[in-house]
Amino acid sequence: MLDDMDKLVSLCKRRGFIFPSSEIYGGLNGFWDYGPLGVELKRNIKDAWWRDNVRMRDDMVGLDCSIIMNPRVWEASGHVGGFSDPMVDCRASKERYRADQIFVFAYVYPAVNHKGEPTEAWLAGLGGTPEEAAEHVEKRAAKLAKRFGQPVGAPSIIPYLKLEPNDRDKVVGPATEDRGTLTEPRAFNLMFKTFVGALESESNVAYLRPETAQGIFANFKNVVDTGRVKLPFGIAQVGKSFRNEINPRNFTFRSREFEQMEIEFFCRPDQAQEWYDYWRKARFQWYVDLGLKSDRLRLRDHDPDELAFYSTATADIEYAFPFGVSELEGIAHRGDYDLTQHMKFSGKDLTYFDEERKERFTPHVVEPSAGADRATLAFLCEAYAEDEVGGESRTVMRFHPRLAPVKAAVFPLVKRDGMPETAEAIYRDLKRRHNVFYDEKGAIGRRYRRQDEAGTPFCLTVDSQTALDGTVTIRDRDSCRQWRIPKADACQALDNLLDGLPIPGDA
């Protein structure tokens, strides 16, 4: 079990799974590159997802949308405006608040200072409404009343965003006694901005997509009109997304450029809950089937107060990483929120006509949204193991065979007696179907261990007996167990092993 990310980061670097982006220039915070083994692993994960969720199903189609879209898409989705809230920092308490959730209560007390001016106290309170904010403020105001007398009249209530800049210094933050510790509201827009065309003007601003989902909604009508699809059905997309995270952390877990595997599953409103339950279970099981078997994998339903305002139910598939329990995938029941928003902003009709029921309605959506990089990281963490073979410790990556970057390695036991030639012929044969590796250098034990660290599930070795009876040994990564198979059956044996079918010639 991996208990320390440093070990994994080190192995990823050493074996070529993951490197810091543009490392020779010192890297870039929040960006990572996948090396030769990493790209195979991540690709296998994405391929498994696509195969299991799109190809193998009759009710799913795929899509590949552009990363830069008409900026109006992000107005409809709420990414421009709604979620780019200005934030306010408190210099004293180091707290950060949403500016729209701070209300300032300006009290005036009868006591006067040496200039004869009345004593004022501008107290900041937190809450979605002035009433909520007042609760906290009133206690503090009452304390002040003991010193300065009962306030004159009711306090004036000013939303922090409406505050005159000069008045900001008067405000006492929610967690301090001192005035003037709050900063001006600052925008934290998490979308990467760019310009379409050579001219950098406000009129041609565009954004790198912060999620793949909106491209699916924007194409809903196209798919319905041309795809010969009938409700219920889903649209799937795998692709890069970008979020200018304030604080990237935890290796590749929170990156500024990342890859998503998203499904928007459209259905009749009265079936949405059923489909939500279905996807919640199905998506969890997918991770289990691919090897996240330990109790580090969890399914957690959101509490009602955690839900986005448009969602009636959301569940997170979480994994207990060494740095904490974190989300791999969210399954959200989003109702008709997204299509309704896009109808409002685009003016286009995105309702669906059910031919059998002769009904027109706006489909409801269940959204299983997974992070490919997060899944990759979870599979890496889960696979990492240290055990002992013949009294020697080894590091082994126990990837599910479907996900392993290299499926098999082929070795000659020693570099003579025609063994390399025989081994290479087997290698050439296997390579047509699988990602396999050939190695004739060094001691055989060393070659096995090298493959263990790469997570290669099987090793085929040509020895002196091969020339006599045409068999080779096959070694299992996890158990180090070996048995012999005819070399002519090598390809079929590997196919079976990778598919979990019975092993030919097993003894």
Q: Pick between residue 26 and residue 116 the one whose CB is nearest to RNA.
A: 26
**Cα separation, 151 vs 276, whole angstroms:** 54
Least spacing, CB of residue 503 vs RNA, in Å:
15
Residue 193 engages RNA in binding (rule: CB under 7 A): no
If binding means CB under 7 A, how many residues of this protein chain bind RNA?
67
If the CB atoms of residues 171 and 472 are measured against RNA, the closer one turns out to be 472
Assigned token pair, 484: 């012999």
Q: Among 36, 128, 149, 445, indicate the residue that binds RNA (CB under 7 A).
A: 445
Cβ atoms 394, 386 nearer than 8 A: yes
> Does position 245 bind RNA by CB under 7 A?
yes
Sign of CA dihedral 142, 146, 147, 153: positive
Q: What is the Cα–Cα distance from 467 to 420, expressed in whole angstroms?
A: 12
Q: Least separation, in Å, of the C-beta of 351 and RNA?
A: 24
Task: Specify the residue, 193 or 360, whose C-beta has the smaller distance to RNA.
Answer: 193
Residue 241, SS3 per DSSP: strand
| Chain centroid, CA 52 distance in Å | 19
Site stretch for RNA (CB under 7 A), options 33-41, 121-129, 290-298, 435-443: 435-443
Interacting residues with RNA between 450 and 479 (CB under 7 A): 450, 452-453, 461, 463-464, 472-473, 475
Q: Binder to RNA among 1, 10, 64, 281 (CB under 7 A)?
A: 10
Across 442-506, the runs of DSSP E, i.e. the strands, are 458-462, 471-476, 482-486
Using rule CB under 7 A, residue 9 touches RNA: yes
Q: Does 270 bind RNA (CB under 7 A)?
A: no
Task: Output the CA–CA distances (angstroms, integers) from residue 333 to 233, 275, 314, 315, 486, in the order listed.
Answer: 15, 9, 6, 9, 53
**Residues 93-132 within binding reach of RNA (CB under 7 A):** 94-96
Q: Rule CB under 7 A: which of 39-98 touch RNA? A: 78-79, 83-84, 89, 94-96
Backbone phi and psi for residue 2, each to the nearest 5 degrees, phi listed first = -80, 125
Rounded Cα distance, 42 and 259, in Å: 10
Cα-based distances in Å from 389 to 8, 11, 357, 392: 20, 19, 65, 5
Instruction: State in angstroms the smallest separation of the CB of 81 from RNA.
Output: 9
Tell which residue, 330, 349, 324, has the closest CA to residue 339: 349
Task: By CB under 7 A, tell whether 194 contacts RNA.
Answer: no
Compute the least distance from the CB of residue 420 to RNA, in Å. Answer: 10
The helix or strand, by DSSP H or E, that contains position 213, with its residue range, turns out to be: helix 213-218
Residue 444 near RNA by CB under 7 A: yes
Least Cβ distance, residue 84 to RNA (angstroms): 6
Identity at 44, one-letter amino acid code: N
Q: 332 with 343: CB under 8 angstroms?
A: no
User: What's the min distance (Å) between Cβ of 138 and RNA?
Assistant: 23
Nearer to RNA, 40 or 439 (CB): 439
3-class secondary structure, 395: strand
- Tell me whether residue 141 or residue 262 sits nearer to RNA (CB atom): 262
Closest CB to RNA among residues 233, 448: 448
Phi-psi region of 172 (alpha: psi -120 to 50; beta: other; left: phi over 0): beta
Which residue, 187 or 198, is less far from RNA as judged by CB?
187
Residue 205-244 contact track with RNA, rule CB under 7 A, x = bound? -----x--------------------------------x-
Considering only residues 338 through 377, tell me which ones interact with RNA, judged by CB under 7 A.
none
Q: Which is nearer to RNA, 79 or 364 (CB)?
A: 79
Beta strands (DSSP E) in 90-213 are 96-98, 102-112, 118-126, 156-159, 171-172, 186-187, 193-195, 205-207
Single out the segment in contact with RNA by CB under 7 A; choices: 6-14, 172-180, 262-270, 339-347: 6-14
Q: Note whether 413 binds RNA by CB under 7 A.
A: yes
Question: Parallel, antiparallel, or unpaired: how do β-strands 205-207 and 193-195 relate?
Answer: antiparallel
Tell me: does residue 298 bind RNA (CB under 7 A). no
Inter-helix orientation angle 372-383/36-50, to 10°: 110
Shortest Å distance, C-beta 426 to RNA:
13
How far lies 263's CA from each of 34, 326, 366, in Å?
A: 24, 20, 8
Residue 136 or 449: which CB sits closer to RNA?
449
In angstroms, rounded to a whole number, what is the distance separating the alpha carbons of residues 23 and 30?
Answer: 12
Nearest residue (CB) to RNA, 395 versus 435? 395
Determine the interface stretch with RNA among 100-108, 188-196, 397-405, 491-499 (rule: CB under 7 A): 188-196
Give the residues lining the site for RNA (CB under 7 A): 5-6, 9-10, 13-14, 20, 26-30, 78-79, 83-84, 89, 94-96, 188, 190-191, 210, 243, 245-251, 254, 308, 322-324, 389-390, 392, 394-395, 413-417, 441-446, 448-450, 452-453, 461, 463-464, 472-473, 475, 480-482
